[in-house]
């Protein structure tokens, strides 16, 4: 269902997102992009979820959760890395939009993670182009996973998402304030390209 029909509470919103993903897996998606769902959106937005995701074209947020226009405030960067613009965008959304779930979404076969792994394994040098900060930041998470004895790219992807969640909670005061008030749930997850399912990695304020 469109998230506009879901109560402004963290658990119902998270449940609705999980249900939407299950509809995609089962092949039972419902139409959420018809014109009548856009009625009233010109007057403002009222998203229930804020999503920070990787920019990969294979993981379209609205499609994989079977949600539609106005349902999600989405920020996307390669490897879902954080910078000042991303943090400011998150802060704006949290303060102004009354969303109830903040979702950090990584995905299977992430190119940024693969590039970082190639650098750590000595198979490639750090790029000298504008892409360098992406690889540097993701490589830190891959290194942390290695320190835990994990060497699979999937584990690097999971660690990258976990680190992003931790950094957001630490760097954006509004996150902790809304968690404490019960108005927000924070989720770290990983989208699996081969099954269309979403693997939950960490939950704060929802279950």
CATH code for residues 10-204: 3.40.1050.10
Name the residue ranges covered by the structural domains of the chain: 10-204
CA distance linking residue 20 with residue 149, whole number of Å: 35
3-class DSSP assignment, residue 60: coil
Query: What kind and span of H or E run contains 45?
Result: none
CA distance linking residue 158 with residue 142, whole number of Å: 9
Tokens standing for 29? 């998606």
Whether the pTM exceeds 0.85: the reply is yes
Residues at the binding site are: 54, 56, 107, 110
Average pLDDT over residues 87-92: 98
Q: What is the tens place of the pLDDT at every residue in 114-169?
A: 999 999 888 888 888 999 999 999 999 999 999 999 999 999 999 999 999 999 99
Per-residue pLDDT for 36 more than 70?
A: no
Mean pLDDT in the chain? Answer: 94
Residues at the binding site for Zn(2+) are: 54, 56, 107, 110
DSSP secondary structure, 158-199, as one string: HHHHHHHHHHHHHH-HHHHHHHHHTS-EEEEEEE-TTT--EE
Average pLDDT over residues 176-180: 98
CA distance linking residue 140 with residue 107, whole number of Å: 17
**Strands across the sheet with 49-54, in order?**
72-77, 49-54, 101-107, 185-191, 198-204
CA distance linking residue 76 with residue 151, whole number of Å: 26
pLDDT band for position 174 (cuts 50, 70, 90): very high
């Amino acid at each position: 269902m469109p998230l506009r029909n879901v109560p402004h509470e963290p658990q119902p919103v998270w449940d609705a997102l999980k249900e939407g993903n299950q509809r995609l897996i089962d092949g039972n998606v419902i139409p959420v992009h018809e014109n009548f769902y856009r009625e009233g959106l010109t007057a403002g937005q009222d998203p229930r979820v804020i999503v920070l995701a990787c920019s990969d074209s294979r993981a379209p947020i609205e499609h994989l959760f079977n949600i539609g226009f106005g349902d999600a405030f989405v920020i996307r960067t390669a490897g879902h890395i954080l910078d000042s613009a991303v943090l400011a965008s998150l802060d704006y959304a949290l303060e102004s939009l009354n969303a109830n779930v903040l979702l950090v979404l990584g995905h299977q076969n992430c190119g940024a993670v693969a590039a970082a792994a190639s650098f750590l394994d000595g198979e490639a040098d750090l790029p000298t182009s504008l892409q360098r900060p992406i690889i540097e930041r993701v490589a830190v998470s891959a290194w942390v996973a290695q320190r835990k004895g994990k060497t699979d790219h999937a584990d690097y992807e999971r660690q990258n998402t976990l680190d992003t969640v931790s950094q957001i909670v630490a760097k954006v005061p509004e996150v902790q304030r809304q968690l404490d008030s019960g108005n927000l749930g924070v989720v770290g997850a990983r989208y699996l390209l081969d099954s269309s399912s979403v693997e939950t990695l960490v939950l704060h304020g929802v279950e």
